[in-house]
């Protein structure tokens, strides 16, 4: 009986737009859903550093290199906020990282595709950050305080990422025929995975109902996907590129684009671990964890030394 009362009060709070904070009562299912979604998001940020990190040494000039370095560093920062926000739910990040490294935890499907040319870096900023922002501006209005607040800052940084990606693509499409072809090829390879990264269609999305009822997710996967398509197709046309979907057309009555069928078999295969780069991403992530251990240990030793010094003073 007490639980029902607590649940009603919790749901009334959400309905009136008051944020849920870490020490507030929450149903176990709400906590579990948040840990699942926020940790998958945190993992996506740090695995997402890998395909772009691959191009830092090969960026075409110093300006591009500095921008890409800053972007990849931002993704590490996003991971940090998100692991910290997840820890407010009583879970330890070491445990979450173990789940990632053992292959138990999911991270975004999109990062299991290779970055073959410099144009892929443009396509990631334009399409992947573009899709992520479309999703995350909605999540910034969500019910769990620490997650929604993390989204505000992350979205601001990702808006910059998105523009730098589009600017790379624009620059390439104004270049030689080869550069234009490189930009189109990147769009061809990244378009469908970017559409898919927004999650399975609503009829195959088991978590959406509960998450939307508790305002963790504010909109369905398909609704966000439609908005992303409506915004991105004209951007492609503006720089002389074409999305690789022969059925894409504007429906003048609804004012929305209609797209061809999405290959959901490919999506489910990638999230099961069978995408082109799943094994490499996991291997590189585990190596980064091992190689970074001494830095974490040194930082902890330094922090302990500072505490001791303060105690003496």
In the bound state with ligand FAQ, the residue whose beta carbon lies nearer, of 242 and 269, is 269
Q: Count residues contacting ligand FAQ (CB under 6 A)?
A: 28
- Report which secondary-structure segment, H or E, holds 46: helix 28-47
Contact map string, positions 120 to 159, toward ligand FAQ, x by CB under 6 A: ----x---xx--x--x------------------------
In the bound state with ligand FAQ, the residue whose beta carbon lies nearer, of 6 and 73, is 73
Binders in 73-92 for ligand FAQ, by CB under 6 A? 75
What is the maximal distance between C-alpha atoms in the chain? 74
How does DSSP assign 177-235, residue by residue?
Answer: HHHHHHHHHHHHHHHHHHHHTT-S-GGG-TTHHHHHHTTSS-S-HHHHHHHHHHHHHHH
Q: Among residues 17, 206, 255, 261, which is the contact residue for ligand FAQ, using CB under 6 A?
A: 206
In the complex, least distance from residue 37 CB atom to ligand FAQ, rounded to whole angstroms: 4
Strand partners, 251: 256
In the complex, least distance from residue 4 CB atom to ligand FAQ, rounded to whole angstroms: 26
Are 100 and 43 contacting, i.e. CB atoms less than 8 angstroms apart? yes
Residue range at the interface with ligand FAQ (CB under 6 A); choices 53-61, 198-206, 237-245, 300-308: 198-206
Q: CA–CA separation, 47 vs 83, rounded Å?
A: 13
Are 26 and 33 contacting, i.e. CB atoms less than 8 angstroms apart? no
255: left (phi over 0), alpha (psi -120 to 50) or beta: left
Q: Which parts of this chain interact with ligand FAQ (CB under 6 A)?
A: 36-37, 40-41, 44-45, 48, 75, 106, 108-109, 124, 128-129, 132, 135, 197-200, 205-208, 211, 217, 221, 271
């Amino acid at each position: 009986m007490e639980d029902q009362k607590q649940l009603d009060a919790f749901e009334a709070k959400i309905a009136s737009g008051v944020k849920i904070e870490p020490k507030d009562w929450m149903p176990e299912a709400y906590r579990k859903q948040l840990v699942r979604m926020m940790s998958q998001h945190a993992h996506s940020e740090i695995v997402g550093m890998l395909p772009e990190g691959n191009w830092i040494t090969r960026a075409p000039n110093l300006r591009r290199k500095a921008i890409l370095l800053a972007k990849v560093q931002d993704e590490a920062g996003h991971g940090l906020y998100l692991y910290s926000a997840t820890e407010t739910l009583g879970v330890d990040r070491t445990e979450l990282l173990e789940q990632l490294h053992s292959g138990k935890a999911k991270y975004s499907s999109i990062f299991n595709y290779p970055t073959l040319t410099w144009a892929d870096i443009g396509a990631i900023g334009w399409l992947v950050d573009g899709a992520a922002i479309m999703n995350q501006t909605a999540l910034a209005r969500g019910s769990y305080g620490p997650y929604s607040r993390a989204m505000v800052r992350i979205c601001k940084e990702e808006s910059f990422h998105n523009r730098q990606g589009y600017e790379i693509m624009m620059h390439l499409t104004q270049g030689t025929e080869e550069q234009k072809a490189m930009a189109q090829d990147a769009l061809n390879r990244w378009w469908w995975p970017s559409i898919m990264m927004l999650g399975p269609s609503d009829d195959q999305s088991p978590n959406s109902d509960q998450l939307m009822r508790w305002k963790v997710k504010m909109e369905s996967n398909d609704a966000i996907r439609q908005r992303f398509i409506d915004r991105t197709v004209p951007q492609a046309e503006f720089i002389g590129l074409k999305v690789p979907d022969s059925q894409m057309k504007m429906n003048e009555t609804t004012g929305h684009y209609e797209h061809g069928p999405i290959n959901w078999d490919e999506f489910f295969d990638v999230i099961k671990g069978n995408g082109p780069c799943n094994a490499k991403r996991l291997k590189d992530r585990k190596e980064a964890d091992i190689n970074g251990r001494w830095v974490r240990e040194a930082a902890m030793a330094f922090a302990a030394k500072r505490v001791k010094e303060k105690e003496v003073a």
